[in-house]
Amino acid sequence: MAEKPSVLIIGGLGYIGRFLAQHIHKSNLASDVRIVDKVLPQLAWLPSEFEEACAGAKFVQADASREQSLPRIFDRADGKQFDYVFNCGGETRYSQEDEVYKLRSFDLSLNVGREAAKRGVKCFVELSTGMVYKPDSSPSKEQDKLKPWSKIAVFKLQAEEELAKIEGLNLVIVRLAHVYGPYASQWVATALCMARVYKALESEMKWLWTKDLRQNTVHIDDVSRALWAIAGWYTAGKAKWDDGKMGKVPTFNVVDKGVTTQGTMADIIGEVFGISTGFQGSLISTFAKLNLDSVVDDVNDELLGPWADLLAEAGISRPGPLTPFMEKELLKDTDLSMDGSRLEEVVGFTYEKPKISKELVEEVIESYKKMKWWP
């Protein structure tokens, strides 16, 4: 394309959406960008460096799960259509009711997918999760067996399957490992908050299950670059893609090369915080498997009080999205283990941050301090 592509990012104030918008903005990759989110920038814990990329005239407040919002989301003043649509929207919180995921993830994906097909969008990128795979001893490739093991994944997989049926939709599916990086909430953040409490309590941080449990990761900078590379690859003609062998809908795992496990994280966290880390014996882990609800409740009861005390001592009244609260779905004895070689071989993508490290984790904590979230 002689002209740079025009871009629509649904859920553009979410964690991945904002970094994608910033990557496009910084590298001047698009002719026009529109950020759509149901939350206003002022309420989205948006660090100052994202304001230029995500707020102002680029931003449209709309709920993409409602059909009546679609004209506001897709219509442009010049009457042209967006070239790329990235669907970074959807419910990211765990332990919600099925109805919430159906409306905010499944319905939202189908709404914007149908509209993108109707308008002839050149590439529609749907973000999904590696939790859709049936855990196996070897890392999951894109065509391996599917058996979603979190509620988010159940509805994401349904969305993948229904989007694939939409006539004329130029669809790509991207399945992500645990995404971490500056300002990250969720999985890595929870572990860091827990470690901060254990440091304050001067006690050992012990993980359930084993050090070999795989918790594959990918840095947000690589995710942003990968999403852009995939859209460009698709619109340039999908080089090296073989429908017969690989399936009709191009699907890519985005996961670093570090094969992150609980042991990897325990070592890094031990080093960063100067605490001892270890693993519960098989007896406790077996008990936990049978009584996961009560085990999770006990851990949360143990940590939330001291965390609140740490925040109070530090004078932090708005800790942002950070909490040591442990979600049961994330504490399952299930491997998140993915093979990311297809993205490298087919798209020619290279990871700039091929594995999680002490330095990258320290960078995450520094970003929390900058936002005054960190006690």
Look at residue 374 in the predicted model and tell me its pLDDT.
Answer: 96
Using DSSP's 3-state secondary structure scheme, residue 296 falls into helix
315, 244 in Cβ contact below 8 A? no
Tell the burial category of 282 from Cβ atoms under 10 Å away from its Cβ (0-12, 13-18, 19+).
Answer: exposed
DSSP 3-state of 84: strand
Q: Which pLDDT does position 237 carry in this prediction?
A: 96
* Enclosing H/E stretch for 25: helix 15-26
Helix axes 187-201, 358-370, angle to 10 degrees: 80
- Unique residue bearing structure tokens 């073989």: 242
Q: Quick one: 39 exposed, middle or buried, by C-beta within 10 A (0-12, 13-18, 19+)?
A: middle
- Up-side HSE of residue 194: CA atoms within 13 Å toward CB? 25
In this predicted structure, what is the pLDDT of residue 2?
63
Kind and range of the H or E run holding 114 = helix 108-118
How many residues are present in the chain?
A: 375
Asked if 269 and 275 touch (Cβ cutoff 8 Å), the reply is: yes
Give the SS3 label for residue 349. Answer: coil
Token pair of 2 as six digits? 């002689």
pTM for this prediction: 0.94
**C-alpha–C-alpha distance, residues 135 and 299, integer Å:** 25
Whether 154 and 94 have beta carbons less than 8 Å apart is answered as: no
Closest CA to 88 of 3, 31, 7: 7
Residue 353: is it exposed, middle or buried by C-beta count within 10 angstroms (0-12/13-18/19+)?
buried
Answer yes or no: are the C-beta atoms of 313 and 374 closer than 8 Å.
no
Please report the pLDDT score of residue 304 as a whole number. Answer: 94
- Whether 301 and 178 have beta carbons less than 8 Å apart is answered as no
Residues of the chain with pLDDT under 50: 1
Alpha-carbon distance 76 to 54, whole Å? 17
Q: 336: which DSSP letter?
A: B
Determine the pLDDT at residue 34.
Answer: 97
DSSP assignment string, 143-164 = TS-B---SHHHHHHHHHHHHHT
CA dihedral 265, 271, 274, 280 (to 10 degrees): 30
| Residue 32 parent element (H or E) | strand 32-37
- Both tokens assigned to 258: 């570090």
